[in-house]
Structure 1
Amino acid sequence: MLRRVLLYTALVLGANAAFAGEIDWQAAKDGGLAKLVPSENAPALPETTFTDRDGGTHSFADYKGKVILANFWATWCAPCREEMPSLDALQSELGGEDFQVVTIATGRNPPEKIDKFFEETGVENLPVLLDPKQKLARDMGVVGLPVSVLIDRDGNEVARLVGDADWSSDAAKDVIRQLTAP
C-alpha cells in the first residue's frame, strides 16, 4: 500500500508542470490559449528602445529579473480593444515585483487617443509606452496586431501569441504563475 501511495504521489507531482518549474503548454492551449506558441531558439531580444508619453526612453533591459508579457497594440485595432481589458485584469491580479504586463502602442497612436482608448475600455493598470516608428515591432518580427510575447526573467522570449487572447483566463494566469515560480 505504501508503495502505491509513493508511486501515485510521484506521478502527481511529476505531472504538475508548476511544481516541476516548466510550462504546461498543452494545458494552456486546452484552457483557451490555442494560439500561444512556445518559442524555440528565439533570437535574443533586441536592444531597440521605446518611449513613454513624456519622451523617456525604455528597453526590455529595464525589466530584467521580471517575467514580462509584452503586448504590441494600436488604438485603431479592433482585436486590441477586445483584448486590452483582460491584459489590465492580468496586471491588476499578478503584476508586481515578479511580473509586468508591458503594453507598447506601435505606429501612430497619439497619447490623447491612447487615453481615450484606455478610458473606453476601462484600462487602469497598464503603462502607456510607445513605438511610433514601429522599429521595435519590426525588430521583434511583429507583422500584425495584437501580438503578445512572453519573456522570462533572463530576457529570453519564451512564447508568442499572434492575435487576441483572454489574458485574464485561468490558463493565462497558470502560465504566468509557472513562469514566475522559483
Structure 2
Amino acid sequence: MTDEKTRRPAGRLIAAAAVLGLVAGAAAIYVKETWSGNGAGGAGVQTAASCPLAKETVAAVTPFLKGQVAAMAPADDPRPMTGLAFTGDGGKPLTLDDFAGKTLLVNLWATWCVPCREEMPALNALQAAMGGDRFEVVAINIDTGDDEKPKAFLEETGVDALGLYRDASMGVFNTLKKEGLAFGLPVTLLLDANGCLVAAMNGPAIWDSADAKALVTAATGVAPKG
C-alpha cells in the first residue's frame, strides 16, 4: 500500500497534468525531441483490422476509467501495438509481441522526468499485486546512454517487481507521438491480450489505487493478489 507521502505528491501531479492537458503540447517539455522511429516498415503501430474484439474490451473497461485513473481515455480506434521494439535484460531485443497473451500496462518513463519518478513505486506495487500470467506492467525507460542510471534509480527506490526494459533511441516514444498517443512523459497504454490498444493517457496516475486495480480487473478478469 502506498503511504501518505507517496499519495500526496502523486495527487498533486495528477491535478497538474489535468491543467496541462488543456494546453496543447504542454507536457512535451519533458521530452527531448529526436528523429528516430520505432517499428519502421509497419512493424510498430498497425491498422485496426486485426483487432476485431478489442472494442468489447474497450466497452468493458470504460466505466472504470474514473477516480485516480480518470485521465485515461478509451481508444476510439483499437489497433495492434505489438511491433513496438525495445530491449530487456542484458540488452535482449524485444517487442510487445513477446508478451502475447497478457494484458499489458505499458508505461514510458525517464529518470529526468519528475512525474515518472513519482509514480514508479505505484507501478511497482501494481505489478506486485496483479502481475502474473495474464497481466504485466511493462515500464520502458527512454533515457539515452547505458543502463547504469535507470538501473540505479530503480534500486534506490526499491522498485523490485518491474523488469528493466529500455529504449535508449526513444523510438517507442516517437512512434507513439506520430500516432497522437504521446505528448510528453509519462505515457501509459492499456493493451489487451492480443496487443491491441484499449486506452491511453499522458501524465501520472496513482497506479496502486483501488481505481487502478479495478481497471485492471475489468480488463483481465483477474483480482488483486491477497
Q: TM-score with structure 1 length normalisation?
A: 0.82
Matches within 5 A, 1:1-182: 22-29=59-66, 31-45=67-81, 47-108=83-144, 110-141=146-177, 142-181=182-221
Identical positions, percent: 37
Length, aligned pairs only: 162
Contact (CA 8 Å) 1:53, 1:129: kept in 2 or not?
yes
Contact (CA 8 Å) 2:65, 2:71: kept in 1 or not?
no
**Which consecutive residues of structure 1, in runs of 5 or more, have no partner in the other structure?**
1-19
Deviations 1:56-106 (A, max 9, x none): 110010111100000000011100111000000000000000100001011
SS of alignment partner, residue 54 of structure 1:
helix
Pairwise CA RMSD: 1.9
Deviations 1:27-79 (A, max 9, x none): 431x2212111111134315132112412110010111100000000011100
Alpha-carbon distance change, 180 to 27 in structure 1, aligned in 2, over 3 angstroms: closer
1:5 alignment partner in structure 2:
none
Contact (CA 8 Å) 1:145, 1:163: kept in 2 or not?
yes
1:13 alignment partner in structure 2:
none
In the TM superposition, what is the alpha-carbon distance from 1:109 to its structure 2 partner?
A: 5.3
Question: Runs of 4+ in structure 1 displaced over 6 angstroms?
Answer: none
Letter in 2 for 1:168: D
In the TM superposition, what is the alpha-carbon distance from 1:174 to its structure 2 partner?
A: 0.5
Contact (CA 8 Å) 2:86, 2:167: kept in 1 or not?
yes
**Which consecutive residues of structure 2, in runs of 5 or more, have no partner in the other structure?**
1-55
SS of alignment partner, residue 138 of structure 1:
helix
Contact (CA 8 Å) 2:105, 2:137: kept in 1 or not?
yes
Deviations 1:134-176 (A, max 9, x none): 1122112233110110000111010012101000000100010
Moved more, 54-63 or 134-143: 134-143
SS of alignment partner, residue 140 of structure 1:
helix
Letter in 2 for 1:83: E
Structure 2: distance between partners of 1:77 and 1:33? 20
Which structure is higher in strand share?
A: 1
